[in-house]
Amino acid sequence: MQEPHQNDEYLSSTPLTEREKVIVRTSVVGICANVVLVAFKTLVGLLSHSIALILDAVNNLTDTLSSIVTLVGAKLSGKRPDKKHPLGHGRIEYVSAMIVAAIVLYAGITSLIESVKKIVTPELPDHSVWSLVVIGASVFIKLALSLYFQKLGKRVKSSALIASGKDAFFDAVLSTSVFISAVVFMITGFSAEAFVGLVISAVIIKAGISMLIETIDDILGKRADSYLTSKIREVIMKEEQVRGVYDLFINNYGPDRNYASVHVELPDVMTVSDVDSLTRRIQNAVYVETGVILTGVGVYSYNTGKGEAAQIRNDVMNTVLSHEWALQIHGFYVDTDHKEMRFDVVMSFDVDHKDALNTLYKEFGEKYPGYSLHIVADADISD
């Protein structure tokens, strides 16, 4: 019986639907909780003339919008691949996380402006026991939402849910400060609401900026997780013919949607049929054990002989690695009969790759006159 191709499971809607259900359910809980908080805080804030409580209500309103954005993002990212987007719509979640971060940033800036206004033109609040009850309940609800969002967000690897969880935590901090300032006012008659709002606004703005930067990193693309790259190499190296694994490049198209390409070093005596069979086994094994889809497996051949080729290889490796910017050399092959030599060099980001290549071509052109050289500069893209 033929095994299903690795893409068949990816195109299946089952794992995506389960993840989508978790995000939708969590977002709906957040929307309902925040709508209730907005209603009560707005009512009590207007009755007690508390700017801090009204701003807290506005902040909860932005949380409602955040949950709606997360919900919409989850639905859109779960759409099946189509002709226009053959690799799926998973990156929409990063966009929704960015929108959530922007909403948090907006709430922080709005709170900062309103706090400054109240410092310039102060207005004494009129707190009651009911306002304290509403604020206190808000703190517990927000802490519970924060733990709930972040726990499920990490479980289903949703950056938007995690961002909403962090936002809920800062809301709890904000509500706590409002609660404390209300108690202080009721006991001493001193209103510190505007000043407390000023400090908390700065904290929220900082959180919004951090969330925005983190999401931008996901969209731009960042270094792959070291555990994942190590696991992929470990799986590939189980094949007896593979002597080395290089140039592992992982493209992320949303949470748990990784496509990769890699080069493997194989003996120069293998036939095309052997290589074809080997690369298919590698693709299957990597997908089964890591969930990463290998879209391409390139091949480097290495000299199996131990004569002149082996001596040249050792000399080339020692020469290349004598440079501080040379991190690794691989894919070396030399044909002494036809005077051809080729290899790749992984270079650090601290050196201009073009200048480094010119240096190597000059060095080996002088060492091996008459040889046709092909040297490739590789970037240090994975651990």
Mean pLDDT estimate for the chain:
81
Calculate mean pLDDT across residues 160-181.
79
Q: Distance between CA atoms of 382 and 246, rounded to whole angstroms?
A: 9
Q: Tokens 């209730």 label which residue?
A: 36
- Collect all residues with Cβ–Cβ distance below 8 Å to 91 and sequence separation of at least 6: 77, 219, 253, 254
pLDDT band at 256 (very low <50, low <70, confident <90, very high): low
Q: Distance between CA atoms of 136 and 172, rounded to whole angstroms?
A: 9
Query: Does the pLDDT value for residue 57 go beyond 60?
Result: yes
Percent of the chain with pLDDT over 90: 17
- The CATH T-level fold of domain 224-301 is Alpha-Beta Plaits (3.30.70)
The H-assigned helical ranges of the chain are 6-11, 14-48, 51-77, 92-120, 129-155, 159-188, 193-220, 226-236, 272-290, 308-321, 353-367
**364-382: pLDDT as tens digits:** 999 999 899 999 988 777 6
Calculate mean pLDDT across residues 4-30.
61
Question: Which residues make up the CATH 3.30.70.1350 domain(s) of the chain?
Answer: 224-301, 303-383
What was the pLDDT predicted at 14? 37
3 state SS of 297 = strand
pTM: 0.57
**284-333: pLDDT as tens digits:** 999 999 889 898 898 888 887 667 888 888 898 889 999 999 988 888 88
What was the pLDDT predicted at 330? 86
**130-160: pLDDT as tens digits:** 778 888 888 888 899 889 888 888 887 777 6
Question: Which residues make up the CATH 1.20.1510.10 domain(s) of the chain?
Answer: 6-220
Using a 10 angstrom Cβ sphere, with 0-12 exposed, 13-18 middle and 19 or more buried, the burial of residue 226 is exposed
Two structure tokens written together for 160: 């938007």
Q: Are 259 and 251 in contact (CB under 8 A)?
A: yes
For residues 270 and 77, the model is more confident at 270
pLDDT band at 191 (very low <50, low <70, confident <90, very high): confident
Q: Which CATH class is domain 6-220?
A: mainly alpha
Q: Are 142 and 175 in contact (CB under 8 A)?
A: yes
For residues 330 and 192, the model is more confident at 330
The CATH architecture to which 303-383 belongs is 2-Layer Sandwich (3.30)
